Amino acid sequence: MKVKNILITGGAGYIGSHVTETLINLKKYKIFIIDNLSRGHKRLINKKAFFIKADMKNTNILKKIIIQNNIDVIIHLAGYANVAESQKKKRTYYNNNIIGTLNLLKACKNSKVKNFLFSSSCSVYGNTVKGVNERCKINPVSYYAYTKYKCEQLIKNYSKKYKFKYIILRYFNVAGASNSGKIGEIGNKDSRLIKNLSIQYFKPNPKINIFGNNYNTKDGTCVRDFMHVSDIADIHKKCVLNEKISSNIFNCGYGKGYSVLEICQIFKKLKNNFKIIYHNRRPGDVGHIYADVNKFKKALNWKPKYNNIRKILLSSIKWERKLHS
């Protein structure tokens, strides 16, 4: 299939803007972005993309955009993504993430859409001990994770109904910023460790909150698999370029878990006067998770370019400096 027109939902957000930049740089596709700017930012919208301010709750607008622009690939990233918030605002997360995705799928009826890529999350696995592969049991602990799992199921069902291929990408923890210096993560996101450390880097009395130090992990703090956002964007590019790819689910991580405390210790070498404040565990957080990424590497012959935690931290700090200047 020759891909021409790509629709990226959530393209004004952190990951969506990186996926857009990577695909635009190929100079092969027309990129359309849908975002309601509820969590996205105008400055992250790529000037070479066609931006439509729209909400995933409006099926009619989605349908019009897909049909009128002959969209052949959808990359669906629009959604809310805060675990703690999802526990408190279940209805909001249900409407935005699940109904939003359902509307988008319904809008594919009688369209030219042939591929549908979805940003799922490692949170669908719940607590794990070793590296998780895509065959591991699904066990969503938080409501956010539940919405992602429900969306996966909807996508699988609609792919049969409307005859498109799907790629479900289960991202682990995404961090860092593009080398272009034009885009990165914006906002005060308490739940995102590396973003938060980068914010603290510029404070006179930096401190970091650690939620839970009694998990069953090497030092009691949560273990996560952090992936540079440019590698995540590159994976999307690989999926779009590979015309023979079949419907599939892939983990997107580096296959190595770092504890929150380990990351803080690496950060301490960059900024030594910062304090750690321990708090109770947050509801919905899992203790230990990192990816088994063999399936993806094999299927797409993919190699990471940025798998170095210190470099990820530095890349995030560099972007934060830009936001401050």
Q: How far is the CB of 139 from ligand NAD (least distance, A)?
A: 16
DSSP for 10-23, written as a single string:
TTTSHHHHHHHHHH
Nearer to ligand NAD, 35 or 231 (CB): 35
* 5, 22, 23, 40: residue in contact with ligand NAD (rule CB under 6 A): 40
Q: Tell me how far CA of residue 163 lies from CA of 76, 109, 120, 150, 309, in angstroms.
A: 17, 10, 21, 19, 40
Nearer to ligand NAD, 28 or 55 (CB): 55
* 79, 140, 184, 255: residue in contact with ligand NAD (rule CB under 6 A): 79
In the annotation, is 144 catalytic?
yes
For residue 211, the Cα-to-chain-centroid distance in whole angstroms is 22
Does 10 sit near ligand NAD (CB under 6 A)?
A: yes
Q: How far is the CB of 129 from ligand NAD (least distance, A)?
A: 21
Does 100 sit near ligand NAD (CB under 6 A)?
A: yes
- Contact positions with ligand NAD (CB under 6 A) in 160-179: 171, 173-174
Nearer to ligand NAD, 114 or 228 (CB): 228
Instruction: Give the three-class secondary structure for 315.
Output: helix
Nearer to ligand NAD, 275 or 305 (CB): 305
* 15, 107, 223, 239: residue in contact with ligand NAD (rule CB under 6 A): 15
* 6, 8, 16, 306: residue in contact with ligand NAD (rule CB under 6 A): 16
Contact characters 268-287, ligand NAD, x per CB under 6 A: --------------------
Nearer to ligand NAD, 28 or 127 (CB): 127
Instruction: Give the three-class secondary structure for 104.
Output: helix
Which of 144, 146, 166, 306 is labelled catalytic? 144
Does 45 sit near ligand NAD (CB under 6 A)?
A: no
Q: How many CB atoms lie within 10 A of CB 301?
A: 9
What's the maximum distance between 2 C-alpha atoms anywhere in the chain?
Answer: 59
Tokens of 188: 């005060």
Tokens of 307: 């798998």
CA 251 to CA 149: how far, in whole Å?
A: 14
Does 85 sit near ligand NAD (CB under 6 A)?
A: no
Listed in sequence order, the residues at least 6 apart from 14 whose beta carbon sits closer than 8 Å to its beta carbon are: 44, 174, 184, 185, 186, 229
φ, ψ (nearest 5 deg) of residue 8: -115, 115
Q: Which residues are catalytic?
A: 144
